[in-house]
Chain A
Amino acid sequence: MTIAEGSLITAADLVGGGVAGDDPDDRGRFGVFGGRFVPEALIPALDEVAKIYAEAKTDPAFISEFDHLLRTYAGRPTTITEVRRFSEVAGGARVLLKREDLTHTGAHKINNVLGQALLTKRLGKTRVIAETGAGQHGVATATACALLGLECVIYMGEVDCERQALNVARMKLLGARVVPVGNGSRTLKDAINEAFRDWVTNVDTTHYLFGTVAGPHPFPEIVRDFARIIGVEARRQVLELTGGLPDAVAAAVGGGSNAIGIFHAFIGDEGVALHGYEAAGHGVETGEHACTLTEGSIGVLHGSRTYVLQDDEGQTIESHSISAGLDYPGVGPEHAWLKDTGRATYHGITDAEAMEAFSILARTEGIIPAIESAHALAGTMKLGRELGPEATILVNLSGRGDKDMGTAMKYFNL
């Protein structure tokens, strides 16, 4: 089977397109980061996922099916939008938004989910579990499961269920069972623990549809490859629009999937700076933040060696962010590697800075971003002032803000 003419995705797009040295080694390591730190019981399942994925990513039939879903279901390619009024608060720099908010379900998460749902079928499994923080990955997973006829169970921290109640209702409407997780910090990290417990119990029938570029090998690689289309498209679009590459690419970083998604196609472009923005919450000085890369230390969390918010004895420190999707004390190992090699730079953005950018984009451009994405916008405002009006900044507008109206109403007294 050949890939339809004009298709979005080629095998090269999926596997990295020849960007040198950025695939993990056979133990799943990016430099010293990554690997597998999980119960032995899960190793055969991870091996199976890795094997089936390795076959799928070079199989034209799989690529064609993924491509078809992205095009006819997810709404790809997404456009880029030049935001001239917003650029006035960003030092006059030319700001281009990659509009992942316009995808079906309203966030970039749909890309990875469709890929992994197809993989679930290929694995011969009938049941899907997933964790969710903001609820976007849960909604996307429930959506793909409805589409492909898979049983779906979503683990979500009780705190997140409250602040993202709308997404809980969406998941239920889509036929998923939502299991509130009441232990630990009752947020994303605990939802991941609970999903792993389910997986080790039901691994025969179940695929763990991991939602970010963290976790044990091969998840960081698979999720990156399925999210990679964001940057592949954006790179072409920016070239077409401006005749050149952007000076910088900006994205929010929680677990890191939207950021890797847009960064990855640019890693080989030395002149393009990559900037990731973590949630500084109430400010790093207060200790209430989610700045894993900028304030954390190297450790092991959720099956992977990476930067972690932890105390002097390796106990995970609870993170804080107004944005549920960034409220995570770990981060994908490839980001840890991009940080340590200096290829990408990471910064903290406080709740207040993010909410200011959230409001500014709404008022200047008529686009209400997800609060996660607002962290990248706040970072862009600072970066634009540094780089000046000659610069072009590509920003991943990773999701839309509909789900955040409850938080916004409270925050702005609307």
Chain B
Amino acid sequence: MTTLQTVFEKARADRRAALVGYLPAGFPTKDGAIAAATAMVEAGCDVIEIGLPYSDPLMDGPTIQDAVHRALVNGTRIADVMRTVEGVAKSGAAVLVMTYWNPIDRYGAERFARDLANAGGTGTITPDLTPEEAGPWREVSAASGIDTVFLVAPSSPDERIQAVAECCTGFVYAASLMGVTGARTSVGAAAEGLVKRCRAQTDLPVCVGLGVGTGAQAAEVAGYADGVIVGSAFIRRLLDAPDEASGLSAVRELASELAAGVRA
């Protein structure tokens, strides 16, 4: 299993930012998600976030909502998420699961952490779990040896950044702007300042997500962050593709463009 620590050490040695790609399990199909995420790794993603499809994704924009809805219609279950993690981990990337809290809560936190570790997953990102509620999840994650990544936002005051960073292992996820997921024409102007404020509170790597979708944007973010996170732009490529083969080449092309960006 590739760990986040290894990923960031290697990226630092290469004097570049890490590239993190997101894709929900079960989208466009159960096997299609494994194939697409693997293609993303082959074309330059260092870390893959596998989204756990959830019925009420209240911090996601229309693109991810659409993909997640299709994944649920495809009958995607947590066992499929674990199988996706296992499949993608074989490619050599560090694989995280990004999920809202309720599916973990319902599945059983201890069981989820154990199953994820057994599948070769390296950790989770939980966007609606705040430090106040994160205690039990951090304990069982530590026991299973998986990382816990939480989010900070431009609205976070320094004391919240500190509290969130204390709960994080692996890296801190900095949301570039106030809003939902989705590619935008420009990365939030607040992102660079937020990364600086994070650095004042923690030695952990800081990755920036939300609104990043092009090589130029990746290069811009790589100028100040340790990692660049891209989700909706990959999904958009798959949604727009007329068939699975062209979808795969489209995500491969985007991953290459972004990988060049983080190395610029």
Q: Which residues of A contact B (CB under 8 A)?
A: 27, 35-45, 183-184, 189-190, 192-193, 196-197, 200-204, 297, 299-303, 308, 310, 312-316
CB neighbours (8 Å) of A184 from chain B are: 55-56, 69
- B196-210 CB mask vs A (1 if < 8 Å, else 0) is 000000000000000
Contact flag A40-B105 (CB < 8 Å), given A193-B58, A200-B59, A316-B55:
no
Contact flag A300-B155 (CB < 8 Å), given A37-B130, A40-B164, A197-B58:
no
CB neighbours (8 Å) of A37 from chain B are: 101-102, 128-130, 133
CB neighbours (8 Å) of B133 from chain A are: 27, 35-37
Q: Is the CB of B56 within 8 A of A299?
A: no
Q: Is the CB of B179 within 8 A of A40?
A: no
Q: Is the CB of B152 within 8 A of A301?
A: no
- Listed by A's residue number, 9 A-B pairs whose Cβ atoms lie within 8 Å are A37-B102, A40-B164, A41-B151, A197-B59, A297-B106, A310-B106, A313-B78, A314-B105, A316-B56
A36 CB to closest chain B CB, in angstroms?
6
Q: Is the CB of B55 within 8 A of A196?
A: no
Compute how far the CA of A102 lies from the CA of B58 in the bound complex, rounded to whole angstroms.
36
Closest to B60 in A: A197
Mostly helix, strand, loop or mixed at chain A's interface? mixed
Mostly helix, strand, loop or mixed at chain B's interface? loop
Closest to B155 in A: A44
Compute how far the CA of A312 lies from the CA of B179 in the bound complex, rounded to whole angstroms.
30
Closest to A193 in B: B58
Compute how far the CA of A248 lies from the CA of B129 in the bound complex, rounded to whole angstroms.
39
Q: Is the CB of A203 within 8 A of B132?
A: no
The 7 closest A-B pairs by CB, nearest first: A314-B106, A41-B153, A314-B103, A201-B179, A314-B102, A316-B55, A300-B102
Compute how far the CA of A297 lies from the CA of B102 in the bound complex, rounded to whole angstroms.
12
Contact flag A299-B106 (CB < 8 Å), given A40-B152, A44-B157:
yes
Q: Is the CB of A183 within 8 A of B65?
A: yes
- B169-183 CB mask vs A (1 if < 8 Å, else 0) is 000000100111000
Q: Is the CB of B130 within 8 A of A193?
A: no
Compute how far the CA of A351 lies from the CA of B102 in the bound complex, rounded to whole angstroms.
30
Q: Which residues of B contact A (CB under 8 A)?
A: 54-61, 65, 69, 72, 77-78, 101-107, 127-130, 132-133, 150-157, 160, 164, 175, 178-180
Contact flag A313-B77 (CB < 8 Å), given A38-B128, A300-B105:
yes
A276 CB to closest chain B CB, in angstroms?
23
Closest to B79 in A: A313
B74 CB to closest chain A CB, in angstroms?
13
CB neighbours (8 Å) of A41 from chain B are: 59, 151, 153-156, 175, 178
Closest to B131 in A: A40
Compute how far the CA of A316 lies from the CA of B130 in the bound complex, rounded to whole angstroms.
21
B184 CB to closest chain A CB, in angstroms?
11
Among A27, A39, A201, A314, point to the contact of B132 (Cβ < 8 A).
A27
Compute how far the CA of A39 lies from the CA of B98 in the bound complex, rounded to whole angstroms.
13
Q: Is the CB of A39 within 8 A of B128?
A: yes
A372 CB to closest chain B CB, in angstroms?
23
Contact flag A36-B102 (CB < 8 Å), given A41-B155, A43-B156, A201-B180:
no
Compute how far the CA of A317 lies from the CA of B181 in the bound complex, rounded to whole angstroms.
24
Q: Is the CB of B153 within 8 A of A193?
A: no
CB neighbours (8 Å) of A303 from chain B are: 128
B36 CB to closest chain A CB, in angstroms?
23
Among B58, B78, B102, B157, point to the contact of A196 (Cβ < 8 A).
B58
Compute how far the CA of A204 lies from the CA of B58 in the bound complex, rounded to whole angstroms.
19
Q: Is the CB of A315 within 8 A of B54?
A: yes
CB neighbours (8 Å) of B164 from chain A are: 40
Contact flag A43-B130 (CB < 8 Å), given A299-B105, A299-B106:
yes
Contact flag A203-B102 (CB < 8 Å), given A44-B157, A183-B69:
no
CB neighbours (8 Å) of A313 from chain B are: 77-78, 103, 106-107
Q: Is the CB of A310 within 8 A of B102?
A: yes
Compute how far the CA of A184 lies from the CA of B132 in the bound complex, rounded to whole angstroms.
29
Compute how far the CA of A315 lies from the CA of B72 in the bound complex, rounded to whole angstroms.
9
Among B78, B101, B180, point to the contact of A197 (Cβ < 8 A).
B180
Compute how far the CA of A269 lies from the CA of B61 in the bound complex, rounded to whole angstroms.
47
CB neighbours (8 Å) of A190 from chain B are: 56
Among B56, B72, B130, B178, point to the contact of A38 (Cβ < 8 A).
B130
Q: Which of A27, A36, A203, A313 has the most B CB atoms < 10 Å from its CB?
A: A313
Compute how far the CA of A192 lies from the CA of B72 in the bound complex, rounded to whole angstroms.
20
Q: Is the CB of A40 within 8 A of B153?
A: yes
CB neighbours (8 Å) of A38 from chain B are: 128, 130
B119 CB to closest chain A CB, in angstroms?
16
CB neighbours (8 Å) of B105 from chain A are: 299-300, 314
A357 CB to closest chain B CB, in angstroms?
32
CB neighbours (8 Å) of A301 from chain B are: 56, 102
Q: Is the CB of A40 within 8 A of B130?
A: yes
Closest to B69 in A: A183
Compute how far the CA of A312 lies from the CA of B129 in the bound complex, rounded to whole angstroms.
20
Q: Is the CB of B151 within 8 A of A39?
A: yes
CB neighbours (8 Å) of B129 from chain A are: 37
Compute how far the CA of A192 lies from the CA of B55 in the bound complex, rounded to whole angstroms.
13
Q: Is the CB of B106 within 8 A of A44?
A: no
Closest to B77 in A: A313
CB neighbours (8 Å) of A315 from chain B are: 54-55, 72, 103
Closest to A48 in B: B155
CB neighbours (8 Å) of B156 from chain A are: 40-41, 43-44
A182 CB to closest chain B CB, in angstroms?
10
B195 CB to closest chain A CB, in angstroms?
15
Q: Which of B56, B103, B129, B175 has the most A CB atoms < 10 Å from its CB?
A: B56
Among B58, B61, B69, B160, point to the contact of A40 (Cβ < 8 A).
B160
